[in-house]
Amino acid sequence: MNQPNPASRHFQGLIERGTSRRSAARVRVDRAFSLACLGITLIAVLALVILLASILIEGASGLSWSFIQNYASRIPDQAGIKAPLFGSIWVASICAIVALPVGVATAVYLEEFAAKNRFTNFLRINISNLAGVPSIVYGILGLTLFVRMFGLFGPVQNPAFEVGGETFAIYYDSMGEPLRVPVADRNETPRLVTGSIGYMQDIFDGPDGELIFTNDWSPIPLTIVNADADFSPAYGVITVDNAVEPIDFEIEKSWYYVQFPFGQTVLAGGLTLMLVVLPVVIISSQEALRSVPGSLRAGSMAMGATRLQTVWKVTLPASIPMIMTGAILAMSRAIGEAAPILVLGVALFITDVPQNLMDAFTVLPMQIYNWTSRPQEEFRALAATGIIVLLGVLLAFNAIAILIRQKFSRPLQ
Amino acid sequence: MPSTPPQPEYKTFVEICESGRPRSTKTRSFQEGGVRSLLVACASFSILVTTLIIGILAYETARFLQDVSVWDFLTGLEWNPLLGEERHFGIWPLIVGTLLVTLVAAVFALPIGLVTAIFLSEYAPAWLRSILKPILEVLAGIPTVVYGFFALIVITPVLQSLGRVFTGEDTFGAYSAGSAGLAVGIMILPIVTSLSEDAIRAVPKGLRDGAFALGSTRFDTSVKVVVPAALSGIMASYLLAITRAIGETMIVALAAGGLSQMTFLPWEQVQTMTAYMVQIFLGDAPATGVEYKSSFAVAGVLFLMTFLLTFSGYRILIRFREEYE
């Protein structure tokens, strides 16, 4: 007790300057400072109010069921947000499924198992550094690691490894209708040429090695010609147009379809966002575990439980509400991130909801960015409406977090 | 005696011990080892991530530096990678642009954040605190692309009309570092506030009591005792906020413009490092072109800057932490 309190030096100034008596002037300063504080604090409130108000003014009128039901369009009136909305939900779910177990396991290791040594210290510094890495840098990591896989499996457009898909070459006839021709893989040159015979729905192999187009009324048998054949056009015969190489490939994917490299797919996007939020999940789970009183652990260990049993049956259940709250906040961060997804090079014009881990996608913030960056007023209004939807999704997430916190939180003492 | 508080519904430890089949200590320690290595693997994943980031950025930067000399890259004052007959790859305009936006954000958010933190922890009555805290949390949860939108449709027009009022001419254009900087400032404000407030609240009550006992007003107590005692935490929160501002992408991509130039005038448009990366990755630059590779080198510089900032924040927090018993 002879040691001087290290805090005492803080009072030195007060004592030396003879401030031990309240004077009217100092009370006035205090009063003025208090008011100034209140005023400055209200700046944050004001910012939020103006922000929300401006978005509502711009975007509330565009909010309708058709806006949520429609896909992207170049015509502002018909544009909707269905694809990015579902894309965001897909990506956030993948992100949660991977980030949660890895993050919580890391936190459990650091808080419950790790010895106090250099490795542990290094881990801690490393995680706090990762939390400070800009999200766009994670985008670059995701691009190289997931989208391209270091180029180990060939280019993204022509993946070297595919399982569970049927490949179709896509041509467009002169009416602009797509023709789908089944091929073995993307390297095979299909034996079809393009032409125009009105509206065609599908094409499949006929009995004599010919291809049969179907339209709405009846199947039309066609002679197959090579792309370089000299063939005079006739009714019902598809003629050589300009397309020798297929315009595009389409893959009919079974649910287990996988390709390496992943390309700009939902899975790559979700995993990239997982990298972004992993440090956040780790840090919030660490805080959750730290909040569990040591007496609970000590009691469990005293009853002969191993560390693992203690963690599994005592510590984790007690900290689940906090972990879940942190996790949901991390997920809302993932939903709001645009930069890493942008780096992956996802297509801006998606007109389909992802059905599969290997489907193309876009996310809400990307769509909002796209609309905002256009000069036309109409697209700004669309962006505002998109923001309302995005904030609505985030609000729903946070409501769930609050519900979980209330439902599961129990007194620990 | 008041009635006992509701007991938590945990199993008693005896129940825990009796649940499940009895296992030999050997099995248990075997399981323990297995789970332990699984946990170590998960923990090591974060190290793998860091290694991969550094490795990829270093590799791609090295490839870029085969085309452009290190000297030109690190000392050049002109960044003109896409157009023109002679292309220039001097990083400084991008760094200056980034610093300008960060500076505007810091000048706005750091003082306001600290004062708000002081107000919340020292002055505000509980009811006001319980309103203000959630508002700040909402502000922290808003995606940055929304702030970018806000900068374009609200901050920029306001700055434009302010500029017209004060100078009589159009100083602010449609894109400006100032507009983006203010939006970034609003974005980092809740970070500064909540982390500083944590640091301030961690100062033990005894210090405040001592100051009050010496006749201090609340102003004296907060400014001369509490804030100095919490200084390490406040500094750490500042550094973290600056790191976030430097790495912020969507706001600057939307509101700061796309012209890379060496300027410290907030009404000029600037290109930040992140905004350049957006331009490249969103555009159709061929993946083999030198301008495409340059974005990786820019990312490397960005990573290095944020890494140094986060690391020094961590050191400050460890080294200058005031420990009170």
Give the domain ranges of chain B: 99-319
Residues of A in contact with B35 (CB under 8 A): 308
Contact between chains at A140 and B49 (C-beta distance less than 8 A): no
Half-sphere exposure in the Cβ direction for B318 (13 Å, CA): 10
* CB interface of B with A, residues 52-91, below 8 Å: 52-53, 56-57
* Length of chain A (residues): 413
Confidence of residue B158 (pLDDT cuts 50, 70, 90): very high
CA angle in degrees (0–180, nearest 5) for A295-A116-B303: 115
pLDDT in tens, B83-103: 766 788 889 999 999 999 999
Nearest residue in A to B154, CA atom: A54
- For the residues A364-373, what does the mean pLDDT come to? 92
| Residue B189 to chain A, least CA–CA distance (Å) | 8
Provide the strand spans (E) within chain B.
Answer: 79-80, 88-89
pTM higher than the cut 0.80: yes
Contact between chains at B307 and A338 (C-beta distance less than 8 A): no
Nearest residue in B to A99, CA atom: B42
Confidence of residue B226 (pLDDT cuts 50, 70, 90): very high
pLDDT of residue A216: 43
Residue B236, pLDDT > 50, answer yes
Do residues A194 and A204 lie in contact, with contact meaning Cβ atoms separated by under 8 Å?
no
Q: Is B242 on the interface with A (CB under 8 A)?
A: no
| CATH topology for the B99-319 domain | MetI-like fold (1.10.3720)
**Domains of chain A as residue ranges with CATH:** 65-151+264-408 (1.10.3720.10), 161-260 (no CATH)
Contact between chains at A336 and B50 (C-beta distance less than 8 A): no
Nearest residue in A to B140, CA atom: A333
pLDDT of residue A209: 42
Residues of B in contact with A102 (CB under 8 A): 42, 45
Residues of A in contact with B302 (CB under 8 A): 134, 136-137
Confidence of residue B196 (pLDDT cuts 50, 70, 90): very high
Residue B260, pLDDT > 50, answer yes
Do residues B124 and B218 lie in contact, with contact meaning Cβ atoms separated by under 8 Å?
no
CA angle in degrees (0–180, nearest 5) for B266-A382-B178: 5
Contact between chains at B249 and A339 (C-beta distance less than 8 A): yes
The more confidently predicted of residues B108 and A21 is: B108
Nearest residue in A to B207, CA atom: A7
The more confidently predicted of residues B22 and A32 is: A32
* CB interface of B with A, residues 160-199, below 8 Å: 186, 189-190, 193
Residues β-bridged to residue A213? A203, A220
Q: Tell me which residue in B52, B141, B323 faces A394 most closely, judged by beta carbons.
A: B141
Residue A214, φ and ψ in degrees, nearest 5: -115, 140
Q: Is B302 on the interface with A (CB under 8 A)?
A: yes
